[in-house]
Structure 1
Amino acid sequence: MRTALVIGTGLIGTSAALALAGRGVTVHLADHDPEQARTAAALGAGTDEAPEGPVDLAIVAVPPAHVAATLADAMHRGVARGYLDVASVKGGPRRDLEALGLDPSVLSKYIGTHPMSGREKSGPLAATGDLFEGRPWVLTPTRDTDTEVLNLALELVALCRAVPVVMDADAHDRAVALVSHMPHLVSSMVAARLEHAEETAVRLCGQGIRDVTRIAASDPRMWIDILSANPGPVADLLADVAADLDETVQALRALQSSDEAKRREGVTGIEDVLRRGNSGQIRVPGKHGAAPALYESVVVLINDQPGQLARIFADAGMAGVNIEDVRIEHATGQQAGLVELMVEPKAAPVLTAALRERGWAIRQ
């Protein structure tokens, strides 16, 4: 791939353009808002000047509702040898494109894709050239997809240092409803409980509520576009969640009863949902996509000063311990916090002893 045209210079489009430009591809940028394309160009993502002839690959990075029309326009103009989109849903845009009556030979030059990476922020200023590194990038070829186009898509994934995953388009949409779209709405619903909560309650927020509500900070307008393109699978999943909520509410009410039998039923109901949660959580892939590993945590009290984390990591390295994961919980009203270092179980006592020897305060 020597040349590419990125249509849509938001977070995903600009990030892909930055990755390609950084690896020697000549990238042209286009957007319905010329100022946004100029911003992306100023960041080093390419040029906002139109290509003089067909490029190797056109990357359509617009909201799902506009994918088909944008692709059809680009195909009619013959701007590229191959075309793909990076929308978060795949079945709908493909069917919309087919409904426009394009010649099958033209449709064969298109493949739907979805990089499974993003941020809570949007727009070109939030973009980064390493956004996709190590992340899955779904490709949804059909039997009619031209081999050259599939190879161009695979080359794009490789240049962005992502991991290709081939799926059926509708299976992809059901999957992202489960692991992305439905959880986003649930996160937003939990965060909405905080909107009018008393300040004294909000000040008690810890890492748990931060983890659950982090993705609720995303742009609502962007998510309306996403959810509007995949409403059925998301609604089906939320209906199942609603059924679980109803049963959990009934179980909690039963715990309030003075009837011992009802209380036992309540305990059984709560235990059931918690156990099913355990069973589902352990299926979430672990480090590097491998099966989840069991780590032990070493919790260290630190001051909110420059260099504290660097010192901890350096001391762990001197002790010969690899930090598998890390979490930080900031203290309320104090310039301090707790750093939770996740390590292999056999390394936990080694790291604890080494950090204590170097003056760190360890919390049991």
Structure 2
Amino acid sequence: MRTAAVVGTGLIGTSAALALTGRGLTVHLEDADPDAARTAASLGAGTTEPAEGPVDLAIIAVPPALVGKVLADCQRRGLARCYTDVASVKAGPRSEIAALGCDTVHYIGGHPMAGRERSGPLAARADIFEGRPWVLTPTADTDTETLNAVLELVALCGSVPIVMDAEAHDRAVALVSHAPQLLSSLVAARLEKADETAIRLSGQGVRDVTRIAASNPAMWVDILSANAGAVADVLAEVAVDLGETVTALRALQAEEDAERRGGAAGIEAVMRRGNTGQARIPGKHGAPPTRYETVAVVLGDQPGELGRLFGEVGAAGVNIEDVDIEHSTGQQVGFVQLSVAPGAVRPLTATLRASGWSVRD
């Protein structure tokens, strides 16, 4: 593949364009908003000049409801030899594409499982897809040339291809992406009118849960509208669990010991189910989840402090598997939680303390 077109220069479209231009491809950019395309071009994502002939691959990076219409227009213009899209819902667009009579031999649906809570070309990153799954939903008439072209796209972006049925994909993303987005927003909505004193007590837990609540509402309305039934099914199951949990919490306030014990058992049961579910999430590099231990270090808010800490951990021969930073409210310090192999905790703690770092027990 030497040439590509990206139609829609939002976060995902521009990120794909940046990844491809970084690999030496010529990328032509289109957007209904010319300013967005020019912004993407100014970032090095490609050119807004039209291609002189059909490009090797066109990437349709528009909301799910527009995929069919845009694909039909691109095929009418002969924009590319092969086509794909990156919409986060697959069944609805596939039905519309069939209804519009589009060429499905040279088209395959796609969905890179990557994103950010920010949107638009300025939020784009060439490395956003690296190591992430990229779902492909071929139909019975998708030809080999098209499949190979999109597999090359996935490889150039550093992603891992996963072939799925369109309906199965939509049920899966409802569970692992769309419903969590709404649940994060629901928790964050509780903070809208909360007392300022309560807000100041916010710690890393509420930050983790509400991080994606900063996402663009208009973009998510488009996504959820295309997958509303599957998301509603997930949330209906959550609502049942939530109702039972509320009942269990009320029981903890009861006067009778038996009722309180029943409430405690209900809370423990749902939390154990959560433990089991969380443990199924793939770990580093997609491998089975590994249990790491945490070393918590107090870090001053000065330039270079984090780099100095990482340097000393590296000099100690310890690999950092993951890192979280919790900022202290009202103080110029933070707490860096280094996830390391269990056997590294004791020697790393001793080394850091010997170097003057404050390590929390």
**TM-score computed with the length of structure 2 as normaliser:** 0.99
CA distance in 1, matches of 2:43, 2:329: 37
What's the secondary structure of 1:107's corresponding residue? coil
Pairwise CA distance, 1:155: 0.5
Aligned equivalent of 2:298: 301
Aligned equivalent of 1:97: 97
Pairwise CA distance, 1:143: 2.0
Amino acid at match of 1:80: A
CA distance in 2, matches of 1:284, 1:112: 25
Is residue 258 of structure 1 aligned with residue 255 of structure 2? yes
CA distance in 2, matches of 1:173, 1:112: 12
Aligned equivalent of 2:148: 151
Aligned equivalent of 1:352: 349
Aligned equivalent of 2:15: 15
Aligned equivalent of 2:80: 80
Aligned equivalent of 2:126: 129
Q: Which moved more, 1:204-213 or 1:33-42?
A: 33-42
Aligned equivalent of 1:275: 272
Is residue 41 of structure 1 aligned with residue 38 of structure 2? no
What's the secondary structure of 2:288's corresponding residue? coil
One of 191, 200, 216 as aligned partner of 1:219? 216
Pairwise CA distance, 1:53: 1.0
Amino acid at match of 1:318: A
Pairwise CA distance, 1:78: 1.5
CA distance in 2, matches of 1:80, 1:344: 49
Q: Deviations over 1:112-161 (max 9, x none)?
A: 00011011111111111111111111111122111000000000011111
What's the secondary structure of 1:56's corresponding residue? strand
CA distance in 2, matches of 1:360, 1:119: 33
Q: Deviations over 1:40-94 (max 9, x none)?
A: 1111111111111111101000011100000011112211110000000111100
CA distance in 1, matches of 2:345, 2:323: 13
What's the secondary structure of 2:331's corresponding residue? coil
One of 319, 326, 331 as aligned partner of 1:329? 326
**TM-score computed with the length of structure 1 as normaliser:** 0.98
CA distance in 2, matches of 1:193, 1:220: 17
Amino acid at match of 1:276: R
Aligned equivalent of 1:168: 165
CA distance in 1, matches of 2:274, 2:36: 43
One of 146, 161, 176 as aligned partner of 1:179? 176
Aligned equivalent of 2:63: 63
CA distance in 1, matches of 2:32, 2:273: 47
Q: Deviations over 1:203-225 (max 9, x none)?
A: 00000000000000000000000
- Structure 1 stretches of 4+ with a deviation exceeding 4 A read none
Amino acid at match of 1:94: R
What's the secondary structure of 1:6's corresponding residue? strand
CA distance in 1, matches of 2:220, 2:245: 28
CA distance in 2, matches of 1:129, 1:264: 53
CA distance in 1, matches of 2:91, 2:196: 44
Identity between Structure 1 and Structure 2 (%): 69
Pairwise CA distance, 1:260: 1.5
Taking only aligned residues, the RMSD between alpha carbons, in angstroms, comes to: 0.8
Pairwise CA distance, 1:327: 0.8
Q: Tell me how many residue pairs correspond in the alignment.
A: 361
Amino acid at match of 2:89: V
Aligned equivalent of 1:313: 310
One of 230, 246, 251 as aligned partner of 2:227? 230
Amino acid at match of 2:208: D
CA distance in 2, matches of 1:19, 1:339: 31
Q: Deviations over 1:236-288 (max 9, x none)?
A: 00000000000000111111110112111111111111110111010011111
Amino acid at match of 1:54: P
Aligned equivalent of 1:50: 50
For structure 1, the residue ranges without an aligned partner over 5 or more in a row are: none
Pairwise CA distance, 1:101: 2.6
For structure 2, the residue ranges without an aligned partner over 5 or more in a row are: none
Amino acid at match of 1:50: P
CA distance in 2, matches of 1:9, 1:354: 48
CA distance in 1, matches of 2:359, 2:54: 61
